[in-house]
Structure 1
């Protein structure tokens, strides 16, 4: 039996990982205690997805309602499957930089301490396994906001001759910037993942995600940009745009494309790697551009308000340069572009709302 262990297994990237590796014939051990509903309310609960995974995969998916901060509980799971675990995909997190400020202790213990618990359990019980961490572009803080940006009709854009015109690569400094407390806790986890690779020689990688999205996202006001935007467009719930005249740009990567990248790394792993991973120039949009596509797909007009007060430390423009990963894994290719992503989200949500 070959086991893939997935934390946050009922969330967006976690559930995509369950499906992806179950289809390849792996047994998947999932850890998820639905803290998303604690962070963002019952509307963001992932229990529907957990139940769907259980019903779909039966014994091939083994679910544990455990907290990643609980060292004893986590070590017991690792010990049970120690001889069979070949891959750990760590997606569980407190994912909102707004929420983090409301309870810094919980944010840090989930994101940083929880990651340490998992890394050390991996080192003790299955040190040859591959460890993949879903990090974030927020490790770069607000440094991207100081790039030479030009305001266009529907978006902000970086100067065409700039070093980062194709996208931001891993050379950008993570120092001397405002990260948000969420960004700081993810930096701590990101560096731990690198260090376990470089110090202990383990096969680890931090994937610094742009806007991760897809049909299994339980979007909420504080997290899940495209999923929550589509939900509001479909249901009539009012949406709020925070600052930058709605022209802030994000690159968007479908959960399948990200997990497929994980799979390529798993097949030929490295130690202590870091990859920027998002939609790149292949798939990106501004808030205004995303609204237009959501309205076109749904046939509804979005009810939204605008406030000049942007979220503290929020990016005005962020597009990932994924060429480092592509140079290491040239067989990896995108399956979804922005239009495909929003169509996928629309088709899934139109059945739920």
Structure 2
């Protein structure tokens, strides 16, 4: 039997992975204990998404396990053993601001939880491909020291800089920088996944995501930029922009396109390989530009205000360079642009309200 195991399976990327890999594998095992509700409140609960998965995919089996608890993971890995061919580790505490509230919890989920998953895989399914959803926050605020230029609606990198054409590549330093505690815990996890590939020879891939987005995101004020923004645009709830005049730039990758990257890697895996994963030059926007699109789609002016205080470790301009991944996997490309993705988010939120 061929089994794919997905952590954070009721979240944005995890649920997309369940849908995608359910067509490729005999069984998809999901591990998710809905900690997103604990992190961000009832509005962020992923219970609806878990229920959807269990209803739609007959070869999906859910476990309410905690990745911080080895005994809970061990039961699952011992039961399925080497039938597990792929581990997609998408579970995380994903917020800068929340990490500072509970550093022990943040680190235990992001770093210790990742170590637990790696070790369980090494002991019970050593030939499985291990795919890890990292983050561009491992670069800390180093991108903020690039030569940036302010325009009417966004910051942009100087056209003479090597990053102008395609964005920031994997050689950008993750050292000597302010990460936020969230960024630091993800660095620890990122390096662990690399090390299990390089030291133990496991097939591990690290994907440093930009803004991961899509219609199944339970967006909140502290996490889920486009999803939460569109929710505010539809409901009329107030939105606050934190710092940088609203001109900070994010690249946005649809959850399907990211999971398709995972699939391409699974088919021809490498050991300890690192890839940037975002919308790149194909799909990026500033806060102000995103607000304008949301207003156009909803036909309503948004209620928003501006705070001079930017989030600690936040990026002023970040666009991912995916050249390395595309050179390794030339059959992959983006499917959903920014407007298509926002329309899907709009329709998904509207259907749930």
**TM-score class normalised by the smaller sequence:** over 0.9
Equivalent residue for 1:182?
182
Equivalent residue for 1:217?
217
Q: Deviations over 1:41-78 (max 9, x none)?
A: 000000000000001113x0000001000000101101
CA–CA distance in structure 1, aligned partners of residues 126 and 208 of structure 2: 23
Q: Deviations over 1:8-53 (max 9, x none)?
A: 0000000000000112343100000000000000000000000000
Q: Deviations over 1:171-208 (max 9, x none)?
A: 10100000000000000000000000000000001100
Q: What SS is found at the alignment partner of 1:81?
A: helix
CA–CA distance in structure 2, aligned partners of residues 82 and 231 of structure 1: 42
Equivalent residue for 2:118?
119
Contact in 1 for aligned 2:132/2:205 (Cα 8 Å): yes
Equivalent residue for 1:73?
72
TM-score (norm: length of structure 1): 0.99
Equivalent residue for 2:22?
22
Equivalent residue for 2:276?
276
Equivalent residue for 1:267?
267
Structure 1 stretches of 4+ with a deviation exceeding 6 A read none
Is the aligned partner of 1:242 residue 2:242? yes
CA–CA distance in structure 2, aligned partners of residues 289 and 343 of structure 1: 15
Shift of 1:163: 1.8
CA–CA distance in structure 1, aligned partners of residues 26 and 6 of structure 2: 12
Q: Deviations over 1:130-151 (max 9, x none)?
A: 0000000000000000011000
CA–CA distance in structure 2, aligned partners of residues 215 and 80 of structure 1: 33
Equivalent residue for 1:83?
82
Q: What SS is found at the alignment partner of 2:240?
A: strand
Is the aligned partner of 1:232 residue 2:232? yes
Contact in 1 for aligned 2:3/2:25 (Cα 8 Å): no
Contact in 1 for aligned 2:257/2:336 (Cα 8 Å): yes
Equivalent residue for 1:132?
131
Equivalent residue for 2:208?
208
Q: CA RMSD in A?
A: 0.7
TM-score (norm: length of structure 2): 0.99
Equivalent residue for 1:97?
96
Q: Deviations over 1:204-262 (max 9, x none)?
A: 01100000000000000000000000000001111000011100000000000000000
Q: Deviations over 1:55-113 (max 9, x none)?
A: 1113x000000100000010110111113110000000000011000010000000000
Ranges in structure 2 where 5+ consecutive residues have no aligned partner: none
Ranges in structure 1 where 5+ consecutive residues have no aligned partner: none
Equivalent residue for 1:108?
107
CA–CA distance in structure 1, aligned partners of residues 224 and 268 of structure 2: 31
